[in-house]
Each structure stands twice: as structure tokens, then as C-alpha cells.
Amino acid sequence: MIHSPGHPEAGFPVLSLNMGSSSLKFSFYLLRPQQETLRADGEVERIGLSDGRVRARRGGTVVEDREGDFSDHRDAIKTIFDILERLELPKPAAAGHRIVHGGPGHAAPARIDANLLGTLRRLVPFAPLHLPAGIQVIEAVAHHFPELPQVGCFDTAFHRGMPETAQRLPLGRGLWDEGVRRYGFHGLSYEYIISELGESSRGRVIIAHLGNGASMAAVRNREPMDTSMGFTPAGGFMMGTRSGDLDPGVITFLMTEKGYDAAALDSLLNRESGLLGVSGISPDMKTLMEKRSVDPHADLAVRMFCYQVRKQIGAYAAALGGLDTLVFTGGIGEHAAAVRSEICEGLDFLGIGIDRERNGRHEETISGSQSRCRVRVIPAKEDLMIARHTRSVVANG
């Protein structure tokens, strides 16, 4: 029997929407006081391209997997609504959105209204690949469910509590006043990890969110101290297709000597660099690990990635004054045991020791019994964090 959202047995049904520049992930949760149930989830990929794809799962079972053309994110959300209707799920009580950038003014989730939409439109230059599509999705949800409350969950909000020394860029004060600063991203992932750590989060914690996009956060007593991404998600250490931090002189050289304009630079730094640029093969870590024994470029890309992550751990241990817990999350962090092991090589001076068998089995704790620093693997659940925030904002009016 399908209950209405108001029925006490139904809990609070929430539609979580996680928008990428060319993708849209969804999760449908029923939230009860002592139980959080994922009823359905899926994704629409390669939006705006000719070879798009939609997948949907219910209870872990694939119920839809087909190709399709999705001209924009409005098409994608309409497809998701059709899937939810076919699955006979209850109407959501609210929809929560991952908003990639909240600018300097948003340090907490917020109810989406006309004022917030206006703010997001003004913030488009801060995230031109993501915010226009995000606004499309918000408007499409409002068109389909005119009375449905919607909540914006900002991926930058977690880091707004960092000390000013970590947020500031070494530029003129006027640019700081105009919002040019280090924002950090993956904040929803970090929030979820902190909630899962419980009392362990009250120490000195480094969280490595390693996926196609990758970043790291230093946290002390549940408070953010520093993070690797900066003004945009292109900063920090190298990623799947993103360069990470560069000498600014490289940018001016490419502009003055090689004729790069803003569009060419954006393509180079965000789509043609990182693991893909170094290997010349693929941005996918699994593919590179399979080929590194026969392809020196693949091997170099993997070694550079592990070196840069290892170096960042050392820097953040210094910022925290030591290290009690190291957490791996994200696609690479959760599934690539060999990468985790290689990253941790040589970090015994920080008390980090990996148990090879535990690591190979992807156990929740992969550090050895003699390791002073506990090393853990925790799956990222940004969609659940969005659902929790959405319920909280709506419940508090």
C-alpha cells in the first residue's frame, strides 16, 4: 500500500537531486525517526549529448537501464518523474538539491524561494558549468509540483567555518570583498563522514574524498580547518581530468605565448588534464591501474596522483598538529585498495599503518593494530545528507 506523505507510517518522503554539469542523480528516501530507507535511486548521464543514458534501481535491483537523448536537465528531471510514477512511490514531501556553489553568503541549507533563485542567478559566474543547469532543475520541479517545498544544500557551506587564514587568497582586499576566496567543495560528503565518525570526529581528522573530482579536508573537533579545493573545484591536487593547483605563471604563459583564451584554458584545465592528461589514455583510475604494468604513462599518472594526495595528508597533519583519524571516501577512496596502500606508504611517521588483508577486503577499518592513527573507509552518501537537511529545513519552517 502506498501511503500519502501525511500518513504516520509513511515517514517523510524526500527526493534528493544531485546535479552535475552533464548528469543528474536522484535518490528517493523515506525518513523516519529511527530509520532512513532508500526506496529508489538512479541517474541520467551525458545530458545534452547524443548518447545519453538513464538508470534506475529499486532496493538495489536495476529496474531501468536504457539509452536516450536528453537535450537538457529539464528533460532529465521529467524522465526521473516518469520513473518515480511508474514505481508507484508516494509523492515527495519535499525536494532537496545539491547546489555546487553558495557564494560568500550561504553557510547553511536554505528554503528555495524567489530571492534565493535570484541569488543563484547572480552566482552563475562562480560556477558557470553547474549553476545554470541547477536552476533549470529547480524550475522544472516547481513546474511539476507547484506547491512542493524545495531546499538548496550548498556544497560550499561546510567550509564556510574555516579560519580566515585558510579562506583568504593572497590577493588584494578588494577581491576578498567581491567574493574571490577559497570556498572548497564536497562539503556534503564531508558532513556525512563527520556524522558517521561519531565521537572519533572530536579529534584531528583528515578526510580524502577521492573520485573523478577529488579533494581533502582537515577537521579538528568537527570544525573545518582547511580544504584543498579553492575558488573553483579545479584547485587542489590532480584529479581525473582537472589539473589541480598550478603556478599562475603557466596560465599567463599559455595566454601570451600560446594564444589560449578563457574557453581554451577552461577546456585544458578542467577536461584535458589530471590523470587523463598525464596518461594520455583515460581519467579512470581502474583503467590506469590495469594498464600501469605495461604503459609507463599510466604508471606515472597513478604515481603522481598518490604522491600528491600523500603530500596533502602530510600538510594537513601539520595544520592539525597531528593526526588521529584518516578517512578514505569517494569512488577511488572506497574501491581502490592498491591506491589507498600506495598513498599511505611512508606515512608511518604520522602513525599510519595499513593492514594489507583488511585493506584488500575493503573493511571499514583498514589500519593495523599497532597503528596510532585509525584509517577508515566510509562510503560517501551525499544524497542522504541532502535528504536530512531537507527534512530539517522544512520541519523548521
106 CB-near residues (< 8 Å, 6+ apart): 119, 152, 154, 156, 157, 160
In whole angstroms, what is the distance from residue 353 CA to residue 368 CA? Answer: 6
70 CB-near residues (< 8 Å, 6+ apart): 44, 46, 47, 48, 52, 54, 76, 79
Whether 155 sits among the annotated catalytic residues: the reply is yes
Distance of CA 28 to the CA centre of its chain: 18
In whole angstroms, what is the distance from residue 318 CA to residue 205 CA? Answer: 12
E strand or H helix at 67: strand 61-68
In whole angstroms, what is the distance from residue 156 CA to residue 235 CA? Answer: 14
- Active-site annotation holder among 65, 72, 82, 155: 155
The answer to whether the Cα torsion of 131, 134, 136, 139 is positive or negative is negative
**Quick one: cell of 396?**
523548521
62 CB-near residues (< 8 Å, 6+ apart): 55, 56
E strand or H helix at 287: helix 285-291
Q: What is the CA radius of gyration of the chain?
A: 21
The answer to whether the Cα torsion of 322, 327, 331, 336 is positive or negative is positive
- Residue that the C-alpha cell 535570484 belongs to: 118
E strand or H helix at 18: strand 12-19
Contact 94, 151 (CB under 8 A): yes
Contact 187, 168 (CB under 8 A): no
E strand or H helix at 262: helix 262-271
Catalytic positions, please?
Answer: 155
